[in-house]
Amino acid sequence: MTPVSRESADTSSGVFRKAYRTGSRPDIRVPVREVTLTTGDSFCLYDTSGPAAAGDEALPRLREPWIAERASRGACMTQRACASRGEITPEMEFAALREGVPPELVRDELAAGRAVLPANVNHPESEPMLIGKAFLVKINANIGTSAVTSSIAEEVDKMRWATRWGADTVMDLSTGKRIHETREGILRGSPVPIGTVPIYQALEKVNGKPEDLSWQVYADTIIEQCEQGVDYMTIHAGVLLRYVPLTARRRTGIVSRGGSILAAWCLAHHEENFLYTHFAELCEILRRYDVTFSLGDGLRPGCIHDANDEAQLSELRTLGELTKTAADYDCQVMVEGPGHVPMHKIAENVRLQQELCDEAPFYTLGPLTTDIAPGYDHITSAIGAAMIGWYGTAMLCYVTPKEHLGLPDREDVKQGVIAYKIAAHAADLAKQHPGAKAWDDALSDARFEFRWEDQFNLALDPDTARRYHDETLPAGPAKTAHFCSMCGPHFCAMKITQDVREYAASHGLADAEALTAGMTEKAEEFTREGGRIYLPVAKP
Amino acid sequence: MTPVSRESADTSSGVFRKAYRTGSRPDIRVPVREVTLTTGDSFCLYDTSGPAAAGDEALPRLREPWIAERASRGACMTQRACASRGEITPEMEFAALREGVPPELVRDELAAGRAVLPANVNHPESEPMLIGKAFLVKINANIGTSAVTSSIAEEVDKMRWATRWGADTVMDLSTGKRIHETREGILRGSPVPIGTVPIYQALEKVNGKPEDLSWQVYADTIIEQCEQGVDYMTIHAGVLLRYVPLTARRRTGIVSRGGSILAAWCLAHHEENFLYTHFAELCEILRRYDVTFSLGDGLRPGCIHDANDEAQLSELRTLGELTKTAADYDCQVMVEGPGHVPMHKIAENVRLQQELCDEAPFYTLGPLTTDIAPGYDHITSAIGAAMIGWYGTAMLCYVTPKEHLGLPDREDVKQGVIAYKIAAHAADLAKQHPGAKAWDDALSDARFEFRWEDQFNLALDPDTARRYHDETLPAGPAKTAHFCSMCGPHFCAMKITQDVREYAASHGLADAEALTAGMTEKAEEFTREGGRIYLPVAKP
């Protein structure tokens, strides 16, 4: 992996500092969060929080020169088109550095449509982010105002807060009256790709009446959003008229807002979904800005009972067809998935999506593995998310503790992001992503060596880890103690293990020697021969 | 399923009341938590909270007559021995009623050693609880004082609190000075089986010096605990002298307290683990009281790096051998498992344990699927717990948010139990346990029909669900509103779906009719013919 250039670190707060991995040109600088350990070493953590910024301050336009260089060339300039021509863009190189993989792999996965790099030419502030099964599993955080609650400033703050804890993308799902302004604040301040569901804004334009929607209102809305810089858009083009009756036998009908709006439109007009009939035009628009399709699953199941039913799978087949159309236009495409799915039906979702959609990246909401725990759906769904990530899903849309009950506040956003970083990292470990395990190893080493401060600072959430420890052993010396309040000084398994090893060391017995001697038969033989590797622990 | 006798309900608090399923004799009464719904129906939830009791009050001695009847007969009277003779004890019938399965299945699983029913003859207060892969996945909550913190009253309160949220068994892991008194308080007040790790108390008896332990001190300790009423005991008889050196190459050595104590003893004396060499005597003692073995995994991995290593698997092979020995004595046996295991190595743990241990019930701690999130290990481990439960683990030992950082307080106990009830229920759904899905369906129906109060009351944690909802929409009318703060009134997918269905109904079109007409081709045909099942939603 490319060495981190510490010279260029531009923030510093005690043990944490932002450092950079630099690429083949000086403006390719990938930020990492460098943690200084008490051993004198340091460890670099993945970091999507972007440059420091306050209030409504816009971020630097990182990608502006890269976009300008391409713009002069005329040809189709989606990242996918560039990749297909064999080109490695600065965005691809940036993403490769962040992932710790060769840029050629990034190019090849993009060209094959197995990965996307959502990067609207009008969102130069964003840092490139890869979404594909060959890479780290990504997570998305949903934010946004509703008609009932919350303000623009709050939403911008939630966006920053989500990236602080590791969100790889953020979706602005605002409804209500100030959608454009809210999105502007979020886009200009966001270091990560921003996604939207344009039908929400289109519906506001027709005063909330689904039947008054039209292709023209919708097209105007997506052009407005493309111009503004949205990086990917959920488009429910697979909710076909003939699938709607299939939802009538369901326990919870249609639970996707976009899906229900389009279903209502189809039924009202007795016509096919205008997103489906105008899909080629959609491709032309999105290609112009390199906006990535996120083909929405408007008929996803809303409860365990409805999982993997005919309505869901019919729509998925149509999404497969649309994936191929988008590919013909060199558009980047990912495909959304459920929802509520019991564990034994999760793998089937990935298998079918990958098969029907030519391995386009899968982007799932959870799935929640049970319906019984409103208030804890970050947990019911982290279980499903970890599994579906392992099976090959490229991005996991978070679920917060407020799911089904209310809009997430700042603390809910954090809890959702943390639960999903756990799920994504557990999936990276299970996929044996190169480098994923180093973080676990660094933290485990700190734990075993009683380096409490390092254990806290390497934790996904250092604040909470430290606070929990301090609740029972607040004193400063406890931070260097070789035990914790769980077992106390005489009962600590790790301490006893350490004592054994130290005893061996102090008597000139290296670990390696003990090891060699120790392998099953050898150990017995050693004992028979009176060999004394270990001696009593508490007294000599 | 046996009808619930509402007449016999002995507590009542608004919508919740304790009701009973009565068996073949009047003293077999299985409590359930009956929820009265706003529809006039009721739904019965699984309930392990036992009879109401305050402070240090002892519970009624439910099983006393059953135990007395058996005591007069002379022969080996473990539940396993009874089952092997073809007998269905009142305990088996009670457990069958609680599970909703035939008593014969309970008997057969116990006889085969594929399930245990931990029920010490000296713990008549406990309600029978089945642990085996053919039944609902169970969860255990650990509590207990340590040398550093907490009191007896607090621990008794935690035990009650844990069973309120659904703990199926509780382990008292107390260390420090008042182990016997703490356990007495817990045992007399507990409606669920109680487990312990006797080596902790034995170590206190020798002033915390592992090398001063002996078989005699240990045997005295377990007899004391058997007399007192402990239902199952973790016994680390598989930590053999020759396995200890295998832990030297590990990242985090030995992380089981019991394992490290016995490893230290073995090394100090250069002798084989006295629990292994005296295992037959252990069987004779435990059989006398029908105390269930929980064969401890003293060499379980303590970090992702060490998962499924030679130390762990060597010990498991020995546990398999000991399982067979215990079976020869008609003892009930379960086998403990890890720990820290990445997702892709979880299935192997179950496969090997089931194969090596003649399908004895597996009882695992988590496993944690990553090491990076101290402060959130209830979540890192709920992922692993749900999966391992699905794969066939019979009981999941909870992990609280304080794991690795401190002893759990009351709130941590609740968070740990909730996370594990989620994992266990998700596993029951995936195993397609008969009846498991009814709870999800009841809650989903309430959700779809906007029966907010029913949704809260059916939730695993009604208090939290209601509180989260009230944070954004506190007003009383919001409890009957056909939307929530997530989407607002015009954006609710479920509301739109309802509107469509209601429109159809008000025009005399039954769901069944719409459905029949709606199946793919039919729907198209209907449209072509100008048939109008659905009409615009917002205006007629």
Under DSSP, is residue A202 helix (H, G, I), strand (E, B) or coil?
A: helix
Q: Residue A444 contacts by C-beta under 8 Å, 6 or more apart in sequence?
A: B251, B252, B302, B303, B304, B305, B371
Q: What is the mean pLDDT of residues A226-231?
A: 98
The residue among A152 and A305 whose pLDDT is bigger is A305
Give the helix, strand, coil percentages of chain B, each rounded to 5. Answer: 50, 10, 40
Worst-scoring range by mean pLDDT, A477-491, B215-229, B244-258? A477-491
Closest residue in B to A404 (Cα) is B486
Percent of chain A with pLDDT over 90: 77
Interval B176-184 mean pLDDT? 91
Closest residue to B372, CB basis, from A402, A425, A467: A425
CB distance from A537 to chain B under 8 Å? yes
- Phi then psi for residue B333, to 5 deg, are -140, 135
**Facing A390 at nearest CB: one of B344, B489, B533:** B344
Q: What percent of chain B has pLDDT over 70?
A: 85
Could you tell me the two tokens for B268?
A: 């100090």
List all residues of chain B from 65 to 84 with a beta carbon under 8 Å from chain A: none
CB-count burial class (<10 Å; 0-12, 13-18, 19+) for A24: exposed
What is the C-alpha to C-alpha distance for residues B99 and B106, in angstroms, rounded to an integer? Answer: 10
More confident call, A6 vs B481? B481
pTM of structure:
0.92
Separation of alpha carbons B473 and B88, rounded Å: 53
Summarize the confidence of residues A42-52 as an average pLDDT: 95
Between CA B497 and CA B179 the distance in angstroms is: 59
Interchain contact, A147 vs B534, CB within 8 Å: no
Q: Which residue has the tokens 């600065």?
A: A90
DSSP state of A239: -
Q: pLDDT tens digit string along B394-451?
A: 999 999 999 999 889 999 999 999 999 999 999 999 999 988 999 999 999 999 999 9
Q: What is the mean pLDDT of chain A?
A: 88
Helices then strands, each counted (H, E), chain B: 21, 15
For residues B262-278, average pLDDT: 94
For residue B270, list chain A residues with Cβ-Cβ distance below 8 A.
527, 532
| Residue given tokens 């030419």 in the structure block | A121
- The Cα–Cα gap between B125 and B61 comes to 4
Which of A379, A479, A507 is best to mutate for the B interface (most B CBs within 10 A)? A379
A367, A372, A374, A378 alpha-carbon torsion, rounded to 10°? -30
Distances (CA, A) of A111 to A78, A89, A291, B137: 10, 12, 16, 46
Per residue in B238-256, pLDDT (tens digit) is 999 999 999 988 999 999 9
Determine contact, residues B396/B131, Cβ cutoff 8 Å.
no
Distance from CA of A197 to the nearest CA of B (A): 13
**B255 chain-A contacts, CB cut-off 8 A:** 493-494, 497
Distance from CA of B25 to the nearest CA of A (A): 33
What are the tens digits of pLDDT across the range A290-328? 999 999 999 999 999 999 999 999 999 999 999 999 999
Three-class secondary structure assignment of A286-331: HHHHCCEEEECCCCCCCCHHHCCCHHHHHHHHHHHHHHHHHHHCCC
A492: closest CA among A506, A507, A478? A478
- B386, B406, B490 member nearest A473 (Cβ): B406
- Split at pLDDT 50, 70, 90, the class of B521 is very low
Average pLDDT over residues A162-167: 97
Query: Chain A neighbours among B 233-252 (CB < 8 Å)?
Result: 241-249, 251-252
The C-alpha of B429 sits at a distance from chain A's nearest C-alpha, in angstroms, of: 6
Residue A265 burial by CB count (10 A; 0-12/13-18/19+): exposed, middle or buried?
buried
Residues of chain A with Cβ-Cβ distance to B536 below 8 Å are 211, 264, 267-268
Give the A window 189-228 contacts with B, CB below 8 Å.
200, 203, 208-211
Instruction: Give just the sign of the alpha carbon dihedral A148, A149, A155, A158.
Output: negative
